[in-house]
Amino acid sequence: MTRESIASKGTRYLTEARLTVQYVSGDTVRATCRGSGDVYRCGHDPRRGWYCSCPATRDCAHLYALQSVTVRRAEATEISGKASRIPPDLIRGEEWACPQTVGSEP
């Protein structure tokens, strides 16, 4: 059994639309990510930094997925303008959530 790397796992979570960003405002990010069965709450807080409710103590694929869509990486800024800026409707400060279909998939 080969272990999938965090990077490839995180990228897969994105392509499979397992990540739901629920709230973005300044340095605060809240999201949920569906792992292999469970849905984990992850995000960033100015005081505690990046966090995830999954059992992994260090970097996990959920945070990798979240960071790759929310963190402005040096190498990503030149790719396109839309990737380096948060859409205006995410910065209004009000919470919004996408309907989730937890457990409806095999």
Give dist(CA 75, CA 8) in Å, integer.
Answer: 18
- Nearest-approach distance from CB 71 to Zn ion, in angstroms: 15
Closest CB to Zn ion among residues 24, 31: 31
* Between 41 and 86, CB nearer to Zn ion: 41
Instruction: Tell me how far, at minimum, the Cβ of 34 lies from Zn ion, in Å.
Output: 11
Residues lying near Zn ion in the complex (CB under 5 A) are found at 40, 52, 54, 60, 62
Tell me whether residue 24 or residue 52 sits nearer to Zn ion (CB atom): 52
Which is nearer to Zn ion, 23 or 50 (by Cβ)? 50
CA distances in angstroms from 95 to 21, 23, 76, 79, 101, listed in the order given:
10, 6, 27, 29, 19
- Considering the complex, what minimum distance in angstroms separates the CB of residue 42 from Zn ion? 6
Q: How far is the CB of 29 from Zn ion (least distance, A)?
A: 14
13 class by beta-carbon count within 10 Å (0-12 exposed, 13-18 middle, 19+ buried): buried
